[in-house]
Each structure stands twice: as C-alpha cells, then as structure tokens.
Chains A and B, each alone.
Chain A
Amino acid sequence: MANASWVFTPTVPHFNKPMISPLISTFRSRVYPHDRILKRVLCSSAVHGADKVSVSELKASRVVGKGCKLVGCGSAVPKLEVSNDDLSKIVDTSDEWISVRTGIRNRRVITGKDKMTGLAVEAAQKALEMAEVDADDVDLLLLCTSTPDDLFGSAPQIQAALGCKGNPLAFDITAACSGFVLGLVSASCYIRGGGFKNVLVIGADALSRYVDWTDRGTCILFGDAAGAVLVQACESEDDGVFGFDLHSDGEGYRHLHTGIKANEEFGTNGSVVDFPPKRSSYSSIQMNGKEVFRFACRVVPQSIEIALENAGLTRSSIDWLLLHQANQRILDAVATRLEIPADRVISNLANYGNTSAASIPLALDEAVRSGKVKPGQTIATSGFGAGLTWGSAIIRWN
C-alpha cells in the first residue's frame, strides 16, 4: 500500500554544512550571483525587502531547519467531573459495565460559560512555559479540533488570548481523534518545508456538546479536554520526529460520524426549490462501536510498524506506546500485538474518557510531568478515529 511516510533518522548527517570543492566555486562564479544562491534556501521572519539585505545578514538568518523536536507540553481539563455512577442515573448503565468494557471511570465536561478555547489557551501557556518560549516567538499555531467555538475556527482567538504579538498564522485542522497526530506531522512539514520555527500544536475538543445524552452507547465514552505541544525547528542531529504513516479511508465514514441536519424550525418559505436554505447544524455522534474497535485494532499496529520502518527503528526502540485514549481494550490489544509490555503503555483514559484530539497531548503531558516519560525517550504515538482516519509517528520527547 503506497502511503505517505517520511524517512528521517537521527543519524542522518547535517545537510547544511557547505561542501568544499573546487567545482562549487566554479559553479558559483559561473552560474549565479552569490546573494541569490544564499537566498534560495534561507527563510526569514520579519525580513523586509529581502533583496536589499546583505549577504552576511542573509547568512545570519535562519536556514530551513531539517529537524524538529518536541520541547514543551501542557494540558487542561474542565472542573466538573462526571462519574460512571452519575451517568447511571440518567441512562441505563452502571459503573461496572462501563469500566469493564472501556476502562473509563470518570470524564470532565465543560459547563456554564467555559469554552474549549479557554482550555486550549491554558494548555498552550503551560507548553510555552515548559519550553521556555515566549508567545511572541510562536510563528504558527495549529488547533486540532472538530468542535471549535466558532464556525470559522478557534485558532485565531487562542492566538489573541496567548498574546502572540507578531500576528502569527493560526488555523484549525479538523481530523477528529487523529487530529493531534496529523497536527504534529503537519508541524514537522511546516518546519522542514516552510521555514517555520516554533509551532504550537494544540489538540482540544468538547465532544460533550455533540453527544446524545440519552444514548448509553456513546454518552459514556467522551470527555472534554485540551493538550498542547511546542514543536521547534532544530539541527538534523537533534531531530525528534523520526518517521510517520498517515491514512484515511472514507469508506469507513458510516461507522462514526455526525452529519449535517437541516433544522426544520428555521423553515423555508415552503416553495418547491428550498430557498432560502434551511439553517444547518450537526447531529449527535453516531457510532458503530464494534466496527470502530475492529478497525482500530487492525490498522494501528500496522501503521506503527510502518512508521518504525520509515524511521529505521524497531519495536525494541520504543520506550513508550502512546495511543489515542479511546478505550483501554484497544490500548491493550495494540500493545499485545506489538509485544509492548503493559507498563510501557501510557494510559489515563480512566480519568478523562475519550477526549478526541486532546487525548494524546493530555496523556503525554501527565506522563511527562509525573516523571514517567523522560527526556530522550522514544514514543510510538498513534491517533485513529472518525473519517475513518489514522496515523502514527515515532517521536522523541526532548
């Protein structure tokens, strides 16, 4: 299966050292003016009228970084905790049923005037603090979410709330529970291929707003949260995103979705051609749990194996397995298949449930701050979910 995957190893020599050869000088003098050549691979921030900048100034500018590393993380959850017992009062379920089948005991839910963006800002601030990077130095903010507070996306408001002064680009990526891994891989592409330097990747979701609270098959599963990671450009030898593997299969859409429904109350004029258009909103989450479970157990181990191959690493290199925190049974099944011992599997879904795009950075943050995940350790991470979409990456925690 052809797939998009990236080959990068930490042992790849540093590309950017000039190669000294008489042939180069010949080329330089024969073919191109020196300053144009240097411009070719330099990217800049806050460069005005670049063609007026001297060669020495260009040399001092950032060269497109060939590496990227994870340098900070943070997370935030709502205050209100809803236990399995609480849920058993409104739907026909029990703590025993939920915890045995899913591993979930509690989840957090946004209430009142709280917003998902508030959580995202808190998570991002903590990540910046850990990374010792100023908000003003962030040059790209990716908000991975399916549940923004605004139709047009919530990344810009987070950027404003963080106080990023340079008007750095900020936009949303929508990819459900795979969102964070896709965001992480995208961040590496923006750094390697676009010259960005400090990319905040935030995974945040408030699925409680799209859950049918009368449906015991789904309302027990989800919680709200936000997590963030700062990905920073670096030299190749410090590179911390070693390989990835990403996929979608739209045929699986029917197993997990929440499609548009037209609201009858905002009616039309009743004419044959429905104009003006009916007001739209999204329905509640519909899920075929069995199919999604099967899908995850099948594709995730494969995807991690491919990402490992692309990274030039083997299973034995993995210090931690960090999967999207959907369900403990999925975590166990994948770990068993990959022969990764249970004590190397990061899991916090018992406390938070499935927080969609937030789940991976939330779990990572707890594992880092508790001292579990140490600098230099290698993590195999995988997101999977609605789309159906899935993706894995082999990363190093810096």
Chain B
Amino acid sequence: MAYASVILTPTFKLSSSTGINPSGLCSPKFATERVRCSGTSPKSAAPRLVSKGCKLVGCGSAVPKQKFSNDDLAKIVDTNDEWISSRTGILNRHILTGTENLTSLAVEAAQKALEMAEVNADDVDLILFCSSTPDELFGGAPEVQKTLGCKRNPPAFDIRAACSGFLLGLVSASCHIRGGGFKNVLVIGADCVTRYLDWTDKKTCVLFGDAAGAVLLQACDSEEDGLYGFDLHTDGFGNKHLNAGMKHIETNLASGCDGDSLGFSPTHASFSYIQMNGQEVFRFVVKVVPESIKASLAKASFRLSDIDWLLVHQANQRIIDHLATKLEFPMDRVISNVKNYGNTSAASIPLALDEAVRSGKVKEGQTIVTAGFGAGLSWGSAVVRWG
C-alpha cells in the first residue's frame, strides 16, 4: 500500500560545532545561512527558515456548560443508561446550549494552550482549525484568530476531516513548520456534531458530544523534535458507512418569478443527519488502526514497548479496549475519557490529551502513540513526544 510517511529518529543529534551534520547533508545551520543570503532583498522581512523539528509545547480544552446524562437522553429517545454504558462506555456528554457556540469553545481551548506554552497570541503564525462543524460555511478559523487577538494577521484556515481531523492537523502543522518556515502553529480540534444528529435515532444520538481541544506545535532544532513518524490514509469507498450528505431545499424566488427563466430551480443546501453503519465502522477501525500504528512505529524506529501512552480517537470504550488488546498494550497506559464526553469528533484527542497532561498522568518527555479514524473513511497515526 503506497502511502506517504516520514522517518525521523529521535536519537539523531546534530553537531553544533561544525556546519556539517554527520549524514553529509547540509546542517540546518549551513542551510540557514544559504537561505538567508540568496535572493533576499535588503528590505525584506527576516526570512523564515526551515526548521527540522517541531514539538508539542502546550495544550488546552473546553466543553460546553450543560452536561447530559444517559438518563436525560432516555427521556427523549427509547434507550436507557444500562444499554448505552455497556455498549459504548459513555455515561455523559456535553452539548452547546443557549448562546454558546463552537468558536467560543475553540478560543477557550486555544487560550489555555497558549498559556501553558507561554506563547503570546501575537507570536502564533498559523492557526489550523480542524472541524467538520464550524459556525461559518467559509470556515471557523478566522473568527478564532480574531477573538484570540492575534495582531499580526496570521493565516487561519480550516481542515475538514471528521474524527481524523486533529491528527491530520498535527501532521499538517509539522509539515508547515518543517517545509514552510512557520514557527508557532495552533492546532485546534473542535466539533459540535450534535447539531447534525437525528435525535430520534437512538443508535447515533447517544454517541456524540461537543467539545474543543488545542495544541501548540512549535518549531525547534532536530534534537528536540517531538513528532517522530506518521502514517495517514483515506479510503473514499468507505464513505457509504459514515456520512452526512448534502440535501437540497427548494428556495423561494421573488414573487412572480419562476425557475423557468433561469433554466433551473434554485435550491439551498443543507446537510442531512449523520448516517452510520456502526458495525462496518467498527470493523474498519479495528482492522486499519493497528496496522497504521505499526507503520508509524516502524517509521519512527520505535517499538510499542518504548511507548508510554496510547491515545486514540475517543469514539467509544469498546473500540479503545479492542485496539489496546489487539496491540497488546497495557490498559493502564491507555488514555480514555470517553465516558464523560462521548465522541467529540476532532476534539476528542486534544481533549483527552489535555486532561491527561493537566492531571499529571502524561509527563513531559513521555511518548504517545496517537491515532484518529472516522468518516471519509480516513485514518492515521503518529508517534509524538509530549513536551
């Protein structure tokens, strides 16, 4: 299977005493000088330079105020706490209500990440907003940028990749740092999938919650590099198992006018409810995710036994348990908070990471294998170091 993945070894150290690195390739220092000198006019801003490494330096998360238990759901749909918790491990979820919106959650998560990283909003030079459910058709990232108060107009755009969104965002951030000269990249995973659920369908409405999580990825020297390897894929044929397709609603033309003049009847688009074949999705996940994790580990030259934590997309506890078992990874090293929040799509990984870091569970310098998977179907994994 052809795929793009990057091999980086964590133990590679650059010599700082010469401009030449041991591989015989130009070291960043030498490369730095070349890039500075060639082709820049005297008036230009300081050119950005390729950094060979990137590291996770801050995280944050936020959830809506209102919590809804399984019992709350049992009042509006034919289900019960025992059914939900035994099949999914979910006990509660948080849902946006009132004047809350996704942007405000994302901003809160981002602010906390910046605070932990001790990085000013003005020093952020790229914001990646990973979401399938932004508050704005044209993307939620710019509003987050504005509310955070990033004064230098850093580019801010959305990545739409469902539950794999955050992982893609993290890898994208590393590519933008390594290949584009960016320095402080905010990667936010935020979703309010509950807006697109059929609340009469007990098979789906019990699974999801709303949340936001954020990580600051920062450029650094190779020896500090904290993203060791990744493996990412999509299989569009699997779209039929998990989707929320477009549907068209006839719109009103001005009175007295009709579509014949135009040659078509204008419609307004909206998305249908989320449709999911749970069994197929489960089968897909337990097949591809362990393979992907093994591929990432190989690229990173790590063995699973070297890894401190397993952090997969928090879809449901059964999937998490199944993956850990298949990988023969000890359960006490598996991060899980799905019981409190349900499946929060792109937010789930940074939300779980943030809780694990702030509770003291995940410590600086520890390695994590993280994996995302979901609609697309898309999936991927990465081997990272926290801090």
Query: Which of A's residues lie within 8 Å of B, judged by CB?
Result: 1-9, 11-13, 15-16, 18-21, 23-24, 27-28, 31-32, 36-51, 64, 80, 82, 86-87, 89-91, 109, 111-112, 136-137, 139-141, 146-153, 155-161, 165-176, 178-179, 182, 185-186, 188-197, 206, 208-214, 246-253, 256-260, 263, 269, 273-282, 284, 306, 309-313, 385-389, 391
Contacts and interface: CB of A to CB of B under 8 A. Distances in A.
A4 B7 contact: no
B2 A168 contact: yes
Nearest to A139: B4
Given A150-B271, A195-B4, 18 more contacts: A3-B152, A4-B155, A40-B9, A45-B5, A89-B261, A111-B263, A148-B246, A150-B243, A156-B376, A159-B236, A167-B233, A192-B179, A250-B156, A253-B146, A273-B66, A279-B195, A281-B270, A391-B155
Contacts of B195: 260, 277-280
A222 B175 CA distance: 33
- Bin the interface of chain B by size: 35 or more
B180 A185 contact: yes
B157 A152 contact: no
Given A7-B40, A169-B232, A280-B196, A174 B134 contact: yes
A227 B45 CA distance: 33
Contact of A46 (B1, B176, B261): B1
Contacts of A193: 50, 174-180
Nearest to B149: A250
Contacts of B162: 152-153
A260 B136 contact: yes
A18 B24 contact: yes
Nearest to B7: A39
A309 to B, nearest CB: 4
A247 to B, nearest CB: 4
A251 B175 contact: no
Nearest to A206: B269
Interface stretch (B108-116, B248-256, B324-332, B352-360): B248-256
A39 B9 contact: yes
For the complex of A and B, the 7 pairs showing the least CB-CB separation, nearest first, are: A193-B179, A250-B146, A312-B39, A160-B236, A192-B179, A193-B178, A9-B39
A387 B138 contact: yes
A160 B132 CA distance: 20
19 contacts: A2-B45, A4-B126, A4-B180, A12-B38, A45-B5, A64-B6, A156-B236, A160-B237, A169-B4, A174-B157, A185-B180, A191-B179, A209-B246, A249-B142, A274-B98, A277-B192, A309-B40, A387-B156, A391-B155
Interface stretch (B10-18, B84-92, B333-341): B10-18
Q: Tell me whether chain A's interface is mostly helix, strand or loop, or mixed.
A: mixed
Contacts of B381: none
Contact of A40 (B23, B243, B257, B377): B23
A157 B377 CA distance: 9
Contacts of B257: 89-91
Contacts of A282: 136-137, 269-270
Contacts, number: 459
A193 B52 CA distance: 8
B234 interface: yes
A40 B172 CA distance: 19
A343 to B, nearest CB: 27
A164 to B, nearest CB: 8
B138 A176 contact: yes
B322 interface: no
Contacts of A50: 7, 298-299, 301
A4 B48 contact: yes
Nearest to B168: A171
Given A160-B237, A195-B6, A210-B268, A19 B295 contact: no
